[in-house]
Amino acid sequence: MTIRKLIMLTSAMVLLIMIGFCTKPKSESNDEQGEGEVHQVDAEGMESGGHDHGQTFAEPGETGEHEESGEELVVHMSDENIIKFGIETEIAGPGEFDLRRTVPGEIVLNAERLAHIVPRVPGVVTGVESRLGDRVVSGQVMASLESRELADAKASYLASIERFELAESISHREERLWKEKISSEQEYLDARKALAEAKIALRSAEQKLRALGFSREHLDRLHSESAEMFTVFDIRAPFDGTIIEKHIVIGEAVTAEEDVFVVADLGTVWVDFAIQQADIGIIEQGQKVSIGSRSGTDTAYGEISYIDPVIDERTRTALARAVLDNSSGKLRPGAFVNGEIVIAGHIAEVMVAREILLSINDRLCVFVKDEHGFEMRPVQTGYSNDGFVEILGGLSPGESVVTKNNFRLKAELEKGENGVLTCQDHAH
C-alpha cells in the first residue's frame, strides 16, 4: 500500500467517526448530562413530575397566574350596579395613626381626696345630721357629741388666760417698784419668770383647742359661750365630698381614734393599670389613655400620672395610674375597665380603615378598582389600632380601593364553581 492510499484511508475513517458523533440522539445526550429538563407548573404550584415547589405569586396588576389557573379574581360590574349596591372607593395613600396598648385596670378612689374622720375627743354622740351617701361641703356639721374632755380643755384655756393676765400685771408692777428702788431685783425677776410660765401655759392650752379644730375667732368668743356649749364638739366635713362610710349613731360612746365617717371627693378618681413586664419599657408618664368600661359606659380620657418603680412580686406586674375627671359621677370605684394607652404615633405609606379588610381563605384581602373591574388583592398588614391598619404589601399608593359594601364583591366571586374562592397572593 502506497503512502497516498494510506492517507486517504485514514481520512475516510476520521470522517465516519465525526458523522457518527454528530448524529447521536439529543435525549441520550441530555440523559448523560442530567440537565435541560423542562418542568411544567400548574396553578396549584405542583410540577407535572409530582414535586411540590410551593405556591407561586404575581406582582400587583399581573394577571398571568390567574389566566393560567383559570380562576376569576376580578368582578365585572356595570356602573348601574355599582350605584345600586352602593359600592364606594377611595385612593389609597399615606396616613398617621396612634399605636396603642390595651391593658386591664380598675377604678379606685383618689386616695389624696379621701378622709377617715375621727372625733378627736372622746364623748357620747348627741346628734347625727348626715347619712350614708350624702354629699357634704367643707365645714358642714355632720354629727355632734358631748365630751367631758373637751370641757376640761376649754376650762384650762380660759384659766390660762386669767393666770397670764394676772402674771402680766404683777410683772409690770414689780418692774415699776424695782425701778423706784422699792422692790428688790429678785422680786422683779421672780415676777418676770411667773409671767413667762403663764404665757407658756396659755399657749399650750390654746394649741390643744386649735388641734381640735377651733379657729382663732372661736377662741376669742369662748369666754362668752354658755355652759351647755362647753361640752359640745361638732364633727365637720374636711372638704366637699360624699359620705361613703358611716359608723356613728346617737347615744354611742366613741373614742378619739375611732373612724366615724369616711368622706371621699368623687370629682376625680384613679385608674390603676396592671402593666406586664414586657410593656414596662414603652409605658411612660404623660402618655394619653382612654378608658372604656367593660359594661359599655361612655369612654373617659386622661393621662398616665404615675408608674410604680417596683414590680409586684406576686403578679409580676407594675402599677401605672391615671387621674380622671369624674364630675359626671359615671366612673364608679371598684369597676374593672380596659385602658388604651397611646404609646406612639405611626406614619404609614399606605393606610386603610380596618373595617374594609375581608377575611378570605384565612387571608386578609381588599378589592381594588382598575380598568378591568374590581380585583381581589390579598394584603400584608403591619401596625394597626382599632380604626386603621398599615398595608405593607398588596396595595400601592394611588390605587383605588373599595371602602364601602365590598362584601357584595366578595359574594359575586363566591358564586363561582362549587362556591369556593381560591385566593392568590401577591409578593412584594
Q: Which of 324, 282, 263 is nearest to 140 (CA)?
A: 263
Residues 341 and 361 both lie in one domain: no
Residue 59 lies in a domain: no
Kindly tell me if the per-residue pLDDT of 220 is higher than 90. Answer: no
Q: Compute the distance between CA of residue 156 and CA of residue 279 in angstroms, rounded to an integer.
A: 62
pLDDT at 53 over 60: no
Q: Is residue 176 situated within a structural domain?
A: yes
The answer to whether position 1 is within a domain reads: no
Residue 67 confidence (pLDDT) = 35
237 pLDDT more than 90: yes
Pick the more confident residue, 268 or 424.
268
Q: What is the pLDDT of residues 79-102, one digit of tens each?
A: 888 888 899 999 999 998 888 888
In terms of residue numbers, what domain contains 213?
Answer: 112-264
* Lookup: cell for 165: 393676765
CATH number, position 396: 2.40.420.20
Instruction: Tell me which of 31 and 287 has the higher pLDDT.
Output: 287
222-258: buried (b, 16+ CB within 10 Å) or exposed (e) per residue? beeeeeeebbbbebebbebbbbeebebeeeeebeeee
* pLDDT greater than 80 at residue 420: no
Are 201 and 214 within one domain? yes
Would you say residue 14 has pLDDT above 60? no
Domain membership of residue 290 (yes or no) is yes
Please name the residue that has the C-alpha cell 409530582. Answer: 50
For the chain, how many residues are written? Answer: 428
Q: Which of 52-56, 122-126, 214-218 has the highest mean pLDDT?
A: 122-126
Partners of 63 in beta bridges: none
Domains identified in the chain, total number: 3
| In a shared domain, residues 197 and 276 | no
Q: What is the per-residue pLDDT across 193-216, written as a single tens digit (0 to 9) for each?
A: 999 999 999 999 999 999 888 888
Q: Is the pLDDT of residue 133 over 90?
A: yes
**Are both 273 and 367 inside the same structural domain?**
no
What grid cell was written down for 369?
A: 378598582
Q: Which domain-ending residue is among 228, 249, 264?
A: 264
- Residue range 117-132: average pLDDT? 94
Q: Note the pLDDT tens digit of each residue in 149-194.
A: 999 999 999 999 999 999 999 999 999 999 888 889 899 899 999 9
Residues 6+ apart with CB under 8 A from 400: 89, 90, 91, 92, 368, 369, 370
317 near 311, Cβ under 8 Å? Answer: yes
**Residue 427: inside a domain:** no
**Per the domain annotation, does 53 fall within a domain?**
no
The CATH number of the domain holding residue 335 is 2.40.30.170
C-alpha 324/C-alpha 269 separation (Å) is 5
389, 259: one domain: no
CATH number reported for the structural domain that contains residue 169 in this entry: 2.40.50.100
Q: pLDDT tier at 309 (50, 70, 90 boundaries)?
A: very high
198 and 127 in a common domain: yes
Q: Are residue 362 and residue 304 in the same domain, yes or no?
A: no
Q: What are phi and psi of 239, to 5 degrees?
A: -160, 175
- Judge contact between 241 and 166, C-beta under 8 A: no
Residue 237 lies in a domain: yes
CA nearest to 85, candidates 391, 402, 359: 402
Q: What is the pLDDT of residue 428?
A: 33
Residue 348 scores a pLDDT above 80 = yes
For residue 305, what pLDDT is reported?
95
What are the grid coordinates assigned to 151, written together? 370641757
pLDDT single digits (tens) 376-389: 999 999 988 878 99
With 50 as the cut, is the pLDDT of residue 45 above it? no
Q: How confident is the model at residue 32 (pLDDT cuts 50, 70, 90)?
A: very low
Which of 264, 295, 327 is at the close of a domain?
264
Using pLDDT thresholds of 50, 70 and 90, give the confidence band for residue 311.
very high
**Hey, what's the cell of 220?**
376669742
Q: Are residues 235 and 255 in the same domain?
A: yes
pLDDT one-digit tens code per residue, 59-68? 333 333 333 3
Q: Are residues 228 and 190 in the same domain?
A: yes
Q: What is the pLDDT of residue 66?
A: 36
Distances in whole angstroms, Cα of residue 109 to Cα of each of 26, 46, 81? 90, 65, 58
Q: What is the overall mean pLDDT for the chain?
A: 81
**Gap between the Cα atoms of 178 and 189, Å rounded:** 10
Q: Say what the pTM is.
A: 0.60
Question: Are 145 and 220 in a shared domain?
Answer: yes
Is residue 8, in this structure, part of any structural domain at all?
no
Which has the higher per-residue pLDDT, 56 or 330? Answer: 330
Nearest CA to 421 among 353, 359, 349? 359
User: Does residue 275 share a domain with residue 167?
Assistant: no
Q: Mean pLDDT over residues 271-294, rounded?
A: 89
Is the pLDDT confidence value at 395 over 80?
yes
- How many other CB atoms are there within 10 angstroms of residue 7's CB atom? 10
Among 291, 324, 345, give the residue marking a domain's end: 345
Question: Could you write out the three-class secondary structure of the chain?
Answer: CCHHHHHHHHHHHHHHHHHHHHCCCHHHHHHHHCCCCCCCECCCCEECCCCECCCCCCCCCCCHHHHHHCCCCEECCCHHHHHHCCCEEEECEEEEEEEEEEEEEEEEECHHHEEEECCCCCEEEEEECCCCCCEECCCCEEEEEECHHHHHHHHHHHHHHHHHHHHHHHHHHHHHHHHCCCCCHHHHHHHHHHHHHHHHHHHHHHHHHHHCCCCHHHHHCHHHCCHHHHHEEEEECCCCEEEEEECCCCCCEECCCCCCEEEECCCEEEEEEEEEHHHHHHCCCCCEEEEEECCCCCCEEEEEEEECCCCCCCCCEEEEEEEEECCCCCCCCCCEEEEEEEEEEEEEEEEEEHHHCEEECCEEEEEEEECCEEEEEECEEEEECCCEEEEEECCCCCCEEEEECHHHHHHHHCCCHHHCCCCCCCCC
Residues 307 and 410 in one domain: no
